[in-house]
A = this chain, B = another copy of it.
Amino acid sequence: MEDPVERLELLFGLGLSFQLVLTEFVRRLDALGYEDLRPVHGYAFQALRWGGLTSTELAGRLGVTKQAAGQMIDELERKGYVSRHPHPDGGRRRLVVLTDKAQRHLAVAGETLHALERELGEKVDVPALRDQLATLIKTLQDGKGPLPPLRPVW
């Protein structure tokens, strides 16, 4: 009887690895009281981390329409993770910045993810894996410009 894990297609292995790591990551964050956030919110927090963005800029980073970004910002504002301010460049622009609550989430999420990576490191050569993934990404994206946003594709 053969081990099904051993005969993985590359594509299936990538998808399932991502799913399992992300699911465990989310499970731990939920246990820490962050059930009100989805993965995409953490992704948005990273984009907003350094000084904030306008909603249209955030939309570009997330690969969604500005309306979808606006809805997400409304939700995050209600939940106390972001606030809107007048934009220094004026116009109708508004600068969306993280609150302290979101900054704390970023710190906790970062530590949680690194702890998970350390645990995996006992069985898997994480730096080597990361290098191979970086090479894979560079190969696929070669000459096609900057990296696209992470989006659901399944």
Contact = CB atoms under 8 A, between A and B. Distances in A.
Contacts of A60: none
Number of copies: 2
Interface residues of A, number: 51
Given A153-B22, A154-B40, A154-B152, A5 B138 contact: yes
Interface stretch (A75-83, A100-108, A118-126): A118-126
Given A20-B137, A140-B21, A8 B130 contact: yes
A132 interface: yes
Interface string A6-27: 1011111111111111111110
Contacts of A21: 10-11, 14, 136, 140
Given A124-B132, A124-B136, A18 B11 contact: yes
A13 to B, nearest CB: 4
A contact face: mostly helix, strand, loop, or mixed? helix
A59 to B, nearest CB: 16
A150 interface: yes
Interface in A82-119: 113, 117
Interface of A: 4-6, 8-26, 39-40, 113, 117, 120, 123-126, 128-130, 132-141, 147-148, 150-154
